[in-house]
Chain A
Amino acid sequence: AQKITQTQPGMFVQEKEAVTLDCTYDTSDPSYGLFWYKQPSSGEMIFLIYQGSYDQQNATEGRYSLNFQKARKSANLVISASQLGDSAMYFCAMRELPHSGAGSYQLTFGKGTKLSVIP
């Protein structure tokens, strides 16, 4: 089974509107972290936002917020007031803390969602 599922291969949003990118995850570990990255056409991975499994509140970073629903195992990214520069691939990723403690920053990525902002 996939650990990270992003069901939207592509999304369109009008400039200045809000958009939600879906992400569901699968883990049996109680301790994990969820990340969202933006990858523009240049290829670099830009960290956007992080949510820890024990965090009580949804994470927010500027125009980015994470709608964390732990019981449903979903961690959707909400981008408010979309800008043309938001057009990119967006990846949801999960970090599970291995029992041995090694490789604790290894991330598992979803397939990504290509967001296109329309002027």
Chain B
Amino acid sequence: GAVVSQHPSRVICKSGTSVKIECRSLDFQATTMFWYRQFPKQSLMLMATSNEGSKATYEQGVEKDKFLINHASLTLSTLTVTSAHPEDSSFYICSAGPGRSNTEAFFGQGTRLTVV
């Protein structure tokens, strides 16, 4: 089964609303989780690093008030896209580590967000 579970896989929301995406590590404790964004036919770009019990670290250019990250437990991190706009439409994917071995970084299934 999947080591990292991400939900929902697809979401369509209206402009101005907020959307929450969950990332769960299923069989290990993830002290750190990472949130990436991927535009069509482009690579994954790191948005932020989520550390359990502390504030997330955002990459340059990522609005922390727009992309709220909460990592309240060792198995769950959430990304909330607030006041979504059509330009926020993208593929969001999380990863967690360390996993069962230090040589792997596991990814969730990804969430395709469409803002209309």
Residues of chain A whose beta carbon lies under 8 Å from any beta carbon of chain B: 33, 35, 37, 42-45, 47, 50, 52, 91, 95, 102-112
Contact = CB atoms under 8 A, between A and B. Distances in A.
Nearest to A6: B43
Contacts of A103: 32, 34, 49, 57
Interface stretch (B13-21, B71-79, B81-89, B97-105): B97-105
A23 to B, nearest CB: 12
Given A35-B105, A103-B49, A107-B105, A91 B32 contact: no
Contacts of B45: 109
Contact of B110 (A37, A44, A50): A44
B21 to A, nearest CB: 13
A10 to B, nearest CB: 11
Contacts of B46: 106-108
Contacts, number: 61
A45 B42 contact: no
17 contacts: A43-B110, A44-B110, A47-B104, A91-B43, A102-B32, A102-B49, A102-B51, A103-B32, A104-B98, A105-B32, A105-B97, A106-B34, A106-B46, A107-B95, A109-B43, A109-B44, A110-B43
A107 B95 CA distance: 9
Contact of A105 (B34, B93, B110): B34
Contacts of B104: 47, 50
A65 B110 CA distance: 26
B32 A50 contact: no
Nearest to A37: B107
Nearest to A4: B43
A98 B34 CA distance: 15
Interface in B40-63: 42-46, 49, 51, 57
A110 B34 CA distance: 17
